Structure 1
Amino acid sequence: MIILNENTKCLVQGITGKQGQFHTEQMMKYNTKIVAGVTPGKGGQEVCGVPVFDSIEEAKENVDVNASIIFVPAPFAKDAAFESIDHLDLVIIITEHIPIHDTMEIMAYAKAKGVTVIGPNTPGVISPKVGKLGIMPTHIFSEGDVGVISRSGTLTYEIASQLTRAGIGQSTCVGIGGDPVIGTPYIDV
């Protein structure tokens, strides 16, 4: 499964929040195509030069987008995820502490719609020299042929760092999420 490539065009849900703003800037510095942000009631603003819309539907009317990364508080994550699932092919949920019943509903809805969900409680996905969708520190990754998949963000970082130090680069590293219920298990990545 190829999760992130040069054709991935992402929007950031919760882009106007502190974490959304910070990680949008970091993702863009790593060549990730962030084409829009969504925060209800904040449409018309810009964050890091990225246009902000009130909804994904409105964003899709204005920009070409096929993925979402969610940086919204846990109480709002279910609604944000459902909105993404209705309109996009890939949804990455960074948010942690989402109620388990909400997560179960998100995953059932995504499965019914055929949408790939990474997370929740994920550090995201990185393909060195291509881009990253998440919160991973980029300096520990190097381009190569080894894939890394982990439920733990910290272990993902440690494995990638050790591989890089040994001269072994990575093709893609995926943190599938540390919560009890996740969208994409090891076998599907």
Structure 2
Amino acid sequence: MTMTRTQYVIAAGLIVATALVLYAMGHPWICKCGTVKLWHFQVVSSENSQHIFDWYTPSHIIHGFLFYFLFWLIAPRASLGTRLLLAIGVEATWEVVENTDYVIDRYREATVALDYYGDSVLNSVSDILFMVLGFVLAARLPVWLTVTIAIGFEVFTGIMIRDGLALNVLMLLWPSETVLRWQNSR
């Protein structure tokens, strides 16, 4: 992918600014448990969304797929680097919004995330970087393969943790008692 030096600096600046905003909001740099793990397997845990990647990492890769498509549609003349910067801006904004008290409370009352108190800064930065990975993959892979990977991620996380991007959005915006009961019956 071709990006200018300025675009790299802007991308890094957006990510650093997001980390600083999250820290200023009271989120810890790393898990309050004091360790940094590559992966934490347990979903219903105070360590979920605290480490480098977790069960929700595939959702962020799918964000990258979706943002690639969105910015290809609405800004077809923009360079790939510019579209990636726009995607980073949207993902960074989501990471901040997702970690506000309002959204955290919404997750805890409407989804299976009962013990969720927000992401660590490390996890949020990792989420942004995994979105970048998804964006780059979508730019390089055939559409059919990108769609297949997205569906595979959704099916896999649906089977493994009874959650994923589609279920997460559904439960955040239009909570379903039936879906919540199914998610809690693991």
TM-score range, shorter chain: under 0.3
TM-score, normalization: structure 1? 0.27
Q: 1 or 2, which has the higher helix percentage?
A: 2
Q: 1 or 2, which has the higher strand percentage?
A: 1
TM-score, normalization: structure 2? 0.28
